[in-house]
C-alpha cells in the first residue's frame, strides 16, 4: 500500500486528491491535510465582495466529498516536514496541528510514501502597516468571509452616495510586491458596475491602485493582441476599458502604510505621496505558510528546500541570473523538489524562479513590481500532472514524470461584472503560454492566434458557466473528470 499526503485543499491540492483517488486502487491511501472545513471557489469571491452573490454559492463542506471518494480528510495545519523520516522510521513524515473543533491544538505525525505541498499562500497583510480587514483599514476578497465584509462596506459606501455624500473608492494592490493584479482589476470592474447600477456614479471617484509599471501588465509582462490584421497591447486595451468607465489609475505604486482614510505610497521614481479614500479593497502580498523541514535528528534543514519567501524550491532555475538572460526553460516542468524523489510542490506553494514581468525598484531600493500569478487554471493543471506522475510510480509503470510548465500552458482570465443573464459584462483575456517564450515566439513571446482580449456579454456568460462547472467538478459529481482543469 502507498500513502500520499497532500497538504492543502485549494485548487491544486483538491484537484490532485481527486485525480489520485480516481487513478489508484482502494488499497492505496490518499490523505488531504487542510485547516479548512469548506472548499472555496476563490474566483467567485469577487462577486460575493460586490454583493451580487451569497457566500453559500462559493463554499461547500469538504468532509462529505472526501468520505464519498474514499479520501482521508485531516482538518489540520501542516507544520513540519521530515523528508528523510525520523529516528523511528526512514519513511517521510509531516507533523500536523489539528484545527477541527474536537481536536484543536492537538498534534500528530503522519508518515507518507509521497507528499504534495499544495498549501497555497499566507496572506501577508502585515507587510504593509494598516493593510487588511482584521488589523487594518482596508477590505479584502481573498477569503469568502473577507468578501462578505467587503460587500457590507461597499453597500455602506453606496448608501452614503445615495444620501448625497461623495466617495473616493480605491481598488488594487496593497504592497509593492503583490501578485493577482487580475483579481483587483476584476473587482474594480465590479465596483464601478455596482455604483453605476445604483445610480450614483457621478458621486464616486474610482481609482485603480497598482504596482504594475503600466496597465495591462497583470504580472505576466503584458500582452499583445491581434484582431483583423491590427495589433494592440494589453496596456492600450486596459486603458481603454478604464477610460470608458471613468476609472483613474495610479501605476507603479507601492503602499508603504495605511492609516484610516489615507494610503501612503511610493512611486517607482522614488517620490512619496498620499491618497485619501472612503472605501478601499487592497490585496496583500503572498508568502509561504511557514512550514519548516527537519532532518531525522531534528536539525532544521528548511533552507535546503524552501526559498527565503517560504515557498518550496522545485525543478526550476534559481541561479538568479539577470533579467536579460531569463528563459522559458527556467520554469519548472514536473514540480518535484530537488533531492527528494517523492515530494512535489504545486500552485502558489512552489517558488517561482523569477518574476514574469521585468523586475523594478525605486531609487530607494523599494521593489515595486508584480510577483508572478500561478492560481486558478495553472494550479489545477499542475495538481493533475503531479497526481498522474505519482499514480504511474505507484503502479510501477516506469514512465517519465508528467509535465505542466507554465511556459507551455495557456490560461484564461475573465473579469466579469454583474451576475444576471443580460445585465453583466466581462473583459476576457486568453494567453498562450503564461510565461512568454521568446525562443518559440520571437516577436511577442506568445502565440497571437491564442492570445486575445475581448469585452462583452459573451465573456460574462462564460465566467458564469465556469463558476457552476468548476464547483460541480470540485464536488466530484458524476463525470467531473471530463471537465478540463
67 vs 106: CA distance, rounded Å: 22
**What is the pLDDT at residue 156?**
98
Overall average pLDDT of the 181-191 stretch: 93
Give all strands of the β-sheet with 204-209 in edge-to-edge order.
Answer: 248-250, 204-209, 167-173, 279-283
Q: Is the pLDDT of residue 408 over 70?
A: yes
**What is the pLDDT at residue 226?**
82
279 vs 149: CA distance, rounded Å: 12
Tell me the pLDDT of the chain averaged across its residues.
94
Overall average pLDDT of the 52-61 stretch: 97
**What is the pLDDT at residue 455?**
78
**What is the pLDDT at residue 415?**
76
3-state secondary structure 314-355: CCCCCCCCCHHHCCHHHCCCCCECCCCCCEEECHHHECCCCC
Q: Is the pLDDT of residue 235 over 80?
A: yes
Binning pLDDT at 50, 70 and 90, where does residue 228 land?
confident
Q: Is the pLDDT of residue 461 over 80?
A: no
**What is the pLDDT at residue 421?**
58
What is the CATH code for 3-123+287-394? 3.50.50.60
Binning pLDDT at 50, 70 and 90, where does residue 466 land?
confident
Tell me which H or E stretch contains 64. helix 62-69
Overall average pLDDT of the 55-64 stretch: 98
Q: Is the pLDDT of residue 424 over 90?
A: no
Overall average pLDDT of the 163-179 stretch: 97
Q: Is the pLDDT of residue 376 over 90?
A: no
Q: Is the pLDDT of residue 449 over 60?
A: yes
466 vs 43: CA distance, rounded Å: 10
**What is the pLDDT at residue 429?**
84
Overall average pLDDT of the 97-107 stretch: 96
Overall average pLDDT of the 445-450 stretch: 93
β-partners of residue 76 are 98
**What is the pLDDT at residue 264?**
98
Q: Is the pLDDT of residue 93 over 90?
A: yes
CA-based nearest residue to 349, from 192, 50, 174, 118: 118
Please state, in angstroms and as integers, the Cα–Cα distance from residue 219 to each residue in 79, 136, 355, following that order: 30, 25, 8
Please state, in angstroms and as integers, the Cα–Cα distance from residue 68 to each residue in 23, 35, 73, 233, 483, following that order: 16, 20, 11, 47, 19
**What is the pLDDT at residue 479?**
96
**Which residues, 6+ apart, have CB-to-CB distance to 474 below 8 Å?**
14, 39, 41, 60, 65, 480
424 vs 52: CA distance, rounded Å: 11
Overall average pLDDT of the 169-177 stretch: 98
Q: Is the pLDDT of residue 456 over 80?
A: no
Which of 227-236, 249-258, 346-355 bottoms out in mean pLDDT, i.e. has the lowest? Answer: 227-236
**What is the pLDDT at residue 427?**
79
Binning pLDDT at 50, 70 and 90, where does residue 423 land?
low
Q: Is the pLDDT of residue 166 over 80?
A: yes
Q: Is the pLDDT of residue 465 over 60?
A: yes
**What is the pLDDT at residue 250?**
98
Q: Is the pLDDT of residue 365 over 70?
A: yes
pLDDT one-digit tens code per residue, 245-275: 999 999 999 999 999 999 999 999 999 999 9
458621486: which residue's cell?
203
Which of 135-139, 213-217, 253-257, 396-400 bottoms out in mean pLDDT, i.e. has the lowest? Answer: 396-400
**What is the pLDDT at residue 181?**
94
Residues in the chain: 485
Q: Is the pLDDT of residue 419 over 60?
A: no
Overall average pLDDT of the 21-37 stretch: 97
**What is the pLDDT at residue 280?**
98
Amino acid at each position: 500500500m502507498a500513502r500520499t499526503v497532500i497538504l492543502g485543499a485549494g485548487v491544486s491540492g483538491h484537484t490532485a486528491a481527486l485525480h489520485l483517488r480516481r487513478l489508484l486502487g482502494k488499497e492505496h491511501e490518499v490523505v488531504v491535510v487542510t485547516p479548512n472545513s469548506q472548499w472555496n471557489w476563490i474566483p467567485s469571491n469577487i462577486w460575493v465582495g460586490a454583493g451580487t452573490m451569497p457566500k453559500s454559492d462559493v463554499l461547500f463542506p469538504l468532509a462529505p466529498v472526501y468520505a464519498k471518494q474514499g479520501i482521508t480528510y485531516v482538518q489540520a495545519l501542516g507544520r513540519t516536514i521530515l523528508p528523510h523520516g525520523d529516528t523511528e522510521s526512514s519513511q517521510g513524515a509531516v507533523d500536523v496541528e489539528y484545527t477541527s473543533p474536537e481536536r484543536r491544538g492537538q498534534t500528530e505525525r503522519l508518515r507518507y510514501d509521497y507528499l504534495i505541498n499544495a498549501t497555497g499562500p499566507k496572506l501577508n497583510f502585515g507587510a504593509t502597516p494598516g493593510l487588511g480587514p482584521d488589523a487594518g483599514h482596508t477590505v479584502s476578497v481573498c477569503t469568502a468571509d473577507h468578501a462578505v465584509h467587503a460587500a457590507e462596506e461597499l453597500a455602506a459606501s453606496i448608501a452614503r452616495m445615495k444620501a448625497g455624500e461623495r466617495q473616493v473608492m480605491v481598488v488594487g494592490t496593497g504592497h509593492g510586491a503583490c501578485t493577482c493584479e487580475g483579481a483587483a482589476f476584476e473587482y474594480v470592474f465590479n465596483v464601478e458596475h455596482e455604483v453605476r447600477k445604483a445610480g450614483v456614479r457621478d458621486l464616486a471617484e474610482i481609482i485603480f491602485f497598482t504596482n504594475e509599471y503600466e496597465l495591462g501588465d497583470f504580472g505576466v509582462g503584458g500582452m499583445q493582441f491581434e484582431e483583423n490584421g491590427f495589433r494592440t497591447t494589453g496596456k492600450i486595451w486596459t486603458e481603454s476599458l478604464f477610460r470608458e468607465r471613468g476609472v483613474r489609475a495610479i501605476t507603479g505604486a507601492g503602499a508603504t502604510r495605511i492609516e484610516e482614510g489615507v494610503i501612503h505610497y511610493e512611486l517607482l521614481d522614488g517620490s512619496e505621496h498620499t491618497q485619501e479614500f472612503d472605501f478601499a479593497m487592497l490585496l496583500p502580498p503572498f508568502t509561504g505558510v511557514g512550514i519548516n523541514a527537519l532532518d531525522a535528528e531534528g536539525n532544521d534543514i528548511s533552507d535546503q528546500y524552501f526559498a527565503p519567501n517560504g515557498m518550496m524550491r522545485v525543478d526550476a532555475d534559481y541561479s538568479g541570473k539577470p533579467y536579460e538572460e531569463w528563459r522559458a526553460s527556467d520554469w519548472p516542468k514536473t514540480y518535484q523538489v530537488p533531492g527528494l524523489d517523492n515530494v512535489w510542490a504545486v500552485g502558489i506553494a512552489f517558488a517561482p524562479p523569477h518574476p514574469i514581468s521585468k523586475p523594478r525598484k525605486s531609487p530607494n531600493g523599494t521593489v515595486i513590481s508584480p510577483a508572478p500569478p500561478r492560481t486558478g487554471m495553472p494550479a489545477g493543471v499542475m495538481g493533475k500532472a503531479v497526481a498522474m506522475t505519482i499514480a504511474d510510480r505507484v503502479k510501477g509503470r516506469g514512465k517519465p514524470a508528467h509535465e505542466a510548465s507554465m511556459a507551455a500552458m495557456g490560461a484564461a482570465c475573465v473579469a466579469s461584472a454583474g451576475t444576471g443573464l443580460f445585465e453583466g459584462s466581462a473583459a476576457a483575456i486568453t494567453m498562450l503560454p503564461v510565461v512568454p517564450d521568446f525562443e518559440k515566439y520571437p516577436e511577442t513571446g506568445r502565440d497571437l492566434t491564442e492570445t486575445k482580449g475581448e469585452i462583452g456579454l459573451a465573456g460574462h456568460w462564460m465566467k458564469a458557466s465556469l463558476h457552476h462547472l468548476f464547483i460541480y467538478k470540485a464536488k466530484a459529481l458524476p463525470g467531473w473528470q471530463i471537465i478540463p482543469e
